[in-house]
Structures are given as C-alpha cells and as structure tokens.
Amino acid sequence: MNVLIIEDEKSLAKEMETFLKKAFYTCDVSYTGNSASEKIAVNLYDFILIDLGLPDYDGLDLLKEAREHNPEATCIILTARAAISDRVRGLDLGADDYLPKPFSLLELQSRMQAIGRRKFGIKNTLVPLGEFAVDLTSRTISHQGKELSNVTKKEFDLLSYLLLHKNRTLNRMQLNEHIWGSWVADDSDSNYIDAHIKNVRKKLNIFASTDWLETVRGVGYRIRLKD
C-alpha cells in the first residue's frame, strides 16, 4: 500500500514513515503543502495522511486536491486544532477519518487497517483464495492449514493487493505505483510485474491451481473470485 505523509513537523513525519515502513507500507513524505500538492497531482496513493496545520498551505485545500486527483485514496486528517468545525468540514469534504494530535502510531495503523477492511468489504482478515487462505494481518499464505514459506514480501504485497481488488483488472502501472511506490515511464514495457506474477503462480501451483489469477491480455492482471 502506498502512503503519502503530509506533515511539517519533521521528527513526527520521520517517525510515522519509519513505523509504517516496518508495517510494510510504501511511503512518500512531504514537509510542505506545495510539495504535497505536486505529489498528489502525479502519483497514486492508497492513503493520504494530511496535517491541517501546514505553514504554507491550508490542509483542507490539499484534501480537495486529493479528492480530485486521487479519488480512491483514503484520506485521514491529522490535526491539533480543537475546533469541531474544522473536523466536521474535513469530513464533509471527503476525509475518511481524523486523528487529533498527539496520537498513537498504533492507533493510526489500526484505523488505516479498519478503514481498508470496510473499503474492500472484508469482514475477516483471513481471506479465502481458491484452495489457499491469505491472512492480511500476519501477512501469510496457507494451504490446507499449512503456512507457505516460499513467498517473498513483495510477492505477498502483489497478491494481496490484487485480492483486495478482486474481480477488477489492474494494469501494470497501478500495481507498480501502489506496491513499489513509483513508476518510470521509460520502463512501461518492462516485464517486471510479469516476472513477479510468474513467480507467484509457479510457487503456488506446487500446492494447488491458481486459475483464479488471470492475465488480461494487453491490460494487466486480476483475481477472479465468485462472491
């Protein structure tokens, strides 16, 4: 999952970045509103964490830009403002949640996970996938109750991201942006994503069929599952 942290207090921003990276998020950081505005306009994010108290920009204006350029992103307001009106306005503008400062990083992660589960309609963090089960909390894949040890962290990220978007075709650019955090236009013909998909299939096919992992020719990949 790709996260943009917008926070002018550098020590807090770096603390958040370190914590979320350990939780396997990919992070960009902006210390100013202008920098954040540029990133929001050109990159795709799963989560945008917005400090309202920026010295050079109104955080609520950034929220509007995020909703325009990243309509599928989850936006969480981080604020030291006590006025309820600021929080209400933020929610009215499309924020998914807000955290008053100071806040616990564990609570931030918990809220991100909870919002993600609601967003993708997941009631249980253990998600069935054909003959496999994917545990989104422990980041493990099991077959018939036995945890697999041959899947890398990035392969898990790729598979779980497709699973969250089940029955939806994702192109290579989307997968690269959300999992690796950047996309180089000159690399658009690369087989980087294709090689990871091939490895996932090869490793899982040892145990059971992966016919639910489909290649959509000329577009990208999808996991097709019956509801």
Query: Do 113 and 6 share a structural domain?
Result: yes
Query: Do 154 and 87 share a structural domain?
Result: no
pLDDT at 77 over 60: yes
Residue-level pLDDT at 182: 59
Query: Do 215 and 145 share a structural domain?
Result: yes
| Boundary residue ending a domain (63, 89, 119) | 119
List the CATH number of the domain containing 203: 1.10.10.10
Report the candidate in 169, 143, 141 with the shortest Cα–Cα distance to residue 153.
Answer: 141
Residue-level pLDDT at 179: 81
Residue-level pLDDT at 85: 78
Residue-level pLDDT at 190: 56
Tens-place pLDDT, residues 152-195 = 999 999 999 999 999 999 998 888 888 877 554 444 445 788 99
| Boundary residue ending a domain (119, 146, 163) | 119
Tens-place pLDDT, residues 24-45 = 899 999 999 999 999 999 999 9
Query: Do 183 and 156 share a structural domain?
Result: yes
> What is the pTM assigned to this prediction?
0.82
Q: What mean pLDDT comes out for the span 146-155?
A: 93
- Going by the DSSP 8-state scheme, the letter that residue 131 receives in this structure is T
Q: How many domains does the chain have?
A: 2
Q: What mean pLDDT comes out for the span 196-209?
A: 95
List the CATH number of the domain containing 78: 3.40.50.2300
Domain that holds residue 219: 126-223
Q: Are 221 and 168 a contacting pair, CB within 8 Å?
A: no
Report the candidate in 163, 151, 164 with the shortest Cα–Cα distance to residue 199.
Answer: 151
144 vs 141, 149, 213, CA distance in Å? 10, 14, 19
The first and second tokens of residue 165, run together, are: 């978007």
Report the candidate in 153, 181, 175, 147 with the shortest Cα–Cα distance to residue 162.
Answer: 175
| Boundary residue ending a domain (119, 143, 163) | 119
Query: Do 130 and 113 share a structural domain?
Result: no
pLDDT at 220 over 60: yes
